Every structure is written in C-alpha cells, then in structure tokens.
Structure 1
Amino acid sequence: MTPLIRNRLIGCVLALAIFAVDQWTKWAVTVPLGINEIGKAQEILPFFDLRFTRNFGVSLGMFEANSPEMRWMLVLVTGLIALVVTVWMMREKLMGDILALALILGGALGNIKDRYELGYVVDFADLHFGEWRPFLIFNVADAAITIGVLIVLARAFFMREKEAEEITITQAPGAAENS
C-alpha cells in the first residue's frame, strides 16, 4: 500500500469514527440518559450541561427547515457538500489536509443522518461559564466540522506563506549556486 493510499484510508476511517461517535453520543444522551425533550438537562460539570434541543437549520440555526420541502432541500444540499468534501479529501496528498477534511466529512454525515431520519439535528452539548453561554448547544458532529474547518483555514494560510517563502528563496539571485 502506498503512503498516499494509506493516508486516504486513514482519512476515511477517521470520518467513519467521527460519524460513529457522533451517533453514539446522541443515542447515549437521548435514550439511556433520557434527555430527549426540549428543556430537559443534566449538569455534568459546573461549565458543561447536557441539554436537549432540536436544530431544524444548519450552522447557527440558519436556513431553518420550516417545511418538508426545506428539510429535503437541506438533506440534498448538505449531501452534495459532503460529496464535494469526499472528492476533495481523496484528491489531497498531505495528511494534515486529509485529516481536517475527514473531520468535516464525519461531522457532516452525522448531521445528515439526523436530518434524514428525524427531520432535525440532535444537539445536546451546552458549554457555558456561569450564566454566560458564548456557544450554541452543539454535538460531536458540529465540533468536528468546526475543528476541521479551522484546520483547513489555518493550513491554507500557513501553507501559502511557506510556499511563497520557498518560491522567493529559489528565485533569489545565486539560489542555484547555493544548492
């Protein structure tokens, strides 16, 4: 197995692991713990509660699906985005990029499954500081997507800087003589 195929396989395994952990945590919160109705909550730590909510929209509750047509439109659009991310991941060569895209893909698949089966995404993680709640209630899939996007952005920014430095160095007068 070539290193490139191995890296892409690792990316696929990570995406499936994120999907599985996301689905398992949603099940664990809603079934055994019984936190499955709006308003139900359980304090875990002074700054972290399990608090059930239904997200009918996408990121930050935008594009809320108020009708069956909108629900299926969101399933279709997010499915297409997941397909694009999959193709992108399979074209990448660098492990860091593959892993970041795998986080996004695994999270997207978890939320797509919820929206397909339930009509909404189950969110339950409530991170707060006293009464101040700087984050919306989220789930493992949301966290994976956010972390993946931040890594993609950071790598794009820093990799461009590094590539620009390498081009400048190789184009500098006398660069060929020093090689």
Structure 2
Amino acid sequence: MYPHDSVILIINRRGNKKFTESECFFVFAEVAEVPVSAAEGEDCVLPCSGHEGVNVKYLEWTEVDQRRDLLAYRGGKTLQRYDDYTNRVQLLHPQLQSRDLSVVLNKVTFKDSGMYKCYALYDDRQETSQFIRLRVKEEVSGLEIKAFVKFNSTHKHLTLSLTGAADAQAFVSSSY
C-alpha cells in the first residue's frame, strides 16, 4: 500500500457470506508520508515511531519504489538485507529500547531518493507502518545563469542560458 491510498474495510454485521449495501459499512483511512530531505553525501535519519512499552518482535525497513530491503530486526539482531545499503544503514537506537524505530542512512546518494516503509510487529500483535519520502538534493556548483530580456513594440523576448558544469548546460528562449 502506498501513501495517500484509501483503505476500505468492509464489515458484515450479520456474519453471513452475502454482502448487501444495507448490511455493510465502509471505513476509509488515509496513510500519510513523512517528508525528509538531505544533501548528497550527508547522513540522514529516516524517522519511525513505535508503540510505547511494547517489545518489538520484528522490524523491517524497505525502499518501496525499487522494492529493496534495507534491514530487518528479529530476536535482538539486526540483519542487513540489500547490497546497496551494506554498511550504510543502522538503527538509530540498536537495542530498540525506546519507541524510536528510526534508521540512519549514511552518505546518501541521489539514487537513495524515494519512498521508504518502516513496518514493526510487536509481541502483543500490534503493528506499525509508516512511510517516509526521502528527497536527496544534488549539490551543483560553478554554474552561471544569464537572463536577457528584449522588448519591442510587438513582443517580448526572454533568453536564459545556464553554463558551467558539463552535464548542466541549458538554453531557453521564448517570445510572447
């Protein structure tokens, strides 16, 4: 399930297998996402909060868009799951002694941008699912932007040019 999807729960009050509109009601819930941004090369925390006073039986962090597993926690042990995250991800609190289930992602790269999911299962069978949207900002330096505007009696002409980095050259021209 992705953030902002609606969840529909159908409950039949009589327990029979046929559902009619008068016998059912719908519950809609919206799943929110937490926005996180970091500059390329920085370490960042992907936040996740759990239930207070309940032991975590299983914790899993996944990158939703690419369907990659970051890590799993089971039986007091943290397991790295995907090669791209080896030695780059760890629990913020390794013993999960607080309700903080956050992870630290070291030296983020532009390809780390995307949706992450924190899922926890507790000893009492409660569950937590949270979505985090990571946006990694690329640092660009040494660029020069030039803007030229030319007016005459019939139209305006705008020219923008961007130079400086080999992979960041652009030219835009517009008349109106």
Tell me if TM exceeds 0.5: no
Would you tell me which structure has more helix in proportion to its own residues?
Answer: 1
Q: TM-score range by the shorter chain?
A: under 0.3
Higher relative contact order (CA 8 A, sep 6+): 1
Would you tell me which structure has more strand in proportion to its own residues?
Answer: 2
TM-score by structure 2 length? Answer: 0.21
TM-score by structure 1 length? Answer: 0.21
